[in-house]
Amino acid sequence: MGHGHGHGHGHRRGRLTRAVHAVRPHSHETADKVDSAMEASAQGMRALWISLAGLGATTLAQAVVVSFTGSVALLGDTLHNAADALTAVPLGIAFVLGRRPPSRRYTYGYGRAEDLAGVFIVLAIAASCVAAGYAAVQRLAHPQPVDHVAAVAGAALAGFLGNELVARYRIRVGRRIGSAALVADGLHARTDGFASLAVLFGAAGIALGAPWADPVVGLLITLAILVVLWQTAREVWRRLMDAVDPALVDRAEAALSSTPGVLAVGDVRLRWIGHNLRAECDVVVDPASTVVRAHEIAVDAEHSLLHALPRLSGALVHPDPEPRHGEDHHAALAGHR
């Protein structure tokens, strides 16, 4: 994506700037950032493929057990797992779209596709919650016998373990690459693991002569899914609203303050675009600085930010001259704000 620092109207780097970057001990040029973004997307795709295979195997095993036990609860759990596996499709599309370079229409690129995938996942969790609650109520109203309880319990345990392993893997990779959608998908897998536990405890209740245990536990698990739904929806909402961890803002301000030539730090704005951060910052410099010197300070400030924020893909750093004797260097803009 290249450096995005600017001054006033964001002029392009000149030869001097390229020379300054050429003598740096390492590079943050466009190719390096594209490689980083591609690697993050590759990790996300790898996580999706592996988890899809794991959930696919779990779903197939459960379907076989459903075919000879007649367990409606296990059938519902099998369908949940199948739906969870299929959420990899919109996420995979989002990761592929995220690799496309910015265009004149989508000037920030296509990283927001991940956030839209996150919305789809929230809807999928909500549907799972409704389905689990409905199945539990129906089972209370219309009890049904279940054959081969031990097989049902074994399949339910396999469903729980498979979902929990997939959930941990997705959440770990999602947090590592900064993908809220992949984390949300991991939480979705965890909700389906809860549904599997409901089947397991229900089977235990049946074995102990309490057929009502299956739907009652199902209702309790529905409440647990509601909690996960709230957590996931809150995370996706925050991402859509450009919320960031305040600790990231603190780190950005500290990096800017420590940059030689920066006298003070003004506004610092961060936002996630997919699994990459973008920054827009104001810094105060000596009013006697030349345009070239102010530019060098802005370059150094962006350089500091790139080291302080690992997922940062670029920053717009605006240098303001330090006001003296009541000067307002933005007076011409006062009527437009």
Residues 133-160 have a mean pLDDT of 81
Q: What is the mean pLDDT of residues 110-135?
A: 84
Contact 64, 78 (CB under 8 A): no
Q: Which long-range contacts (CB under 8 A, 24 or more apart) does 250-257 make?
A: 251/308, 251/309, 252/279, 252/281, 252/305, 252/308, 252/309, 254/308, 255/301, 255/304, 255/305, 255/307, 255/308, 255/309, 256/281, 256/283, 256/301, 256/304, 256/305, 256/317
User: By the 8 A CB rule, do 257 and 292 touch?
Assistant: no
Average pLDDT of the segment spanning 198-212: 78
pTM: 0.70
| Residue 255 identity | A
Strands 312-321 and 276-285: parallel
Confidence of residue 117 (pLDDT cuts 50, 70, 90): confident
pLDDT at 9: 40
pLDDT digits (tens, 9 = 90+) for 59-97: 898 889 888 876 767 777 777 777 677 777 887 888 888
Taken as a whole, the chain contains a residue count of: 337
Nearest partner of 187 among 205, 204, 169, judged by Cα: 169
Split at pLDDT 50, 70, 90, the class of 33 is very low
Query: Residue 80 CA to chain centroid, in angstroms?
Result: 22
> Terminus-to-terminus CA distance in the chain, angstroms?
29
Six token digits for residue 59: 């779903």
pLDDT, position 251: 96
- More confident site: 78 or 146: 78
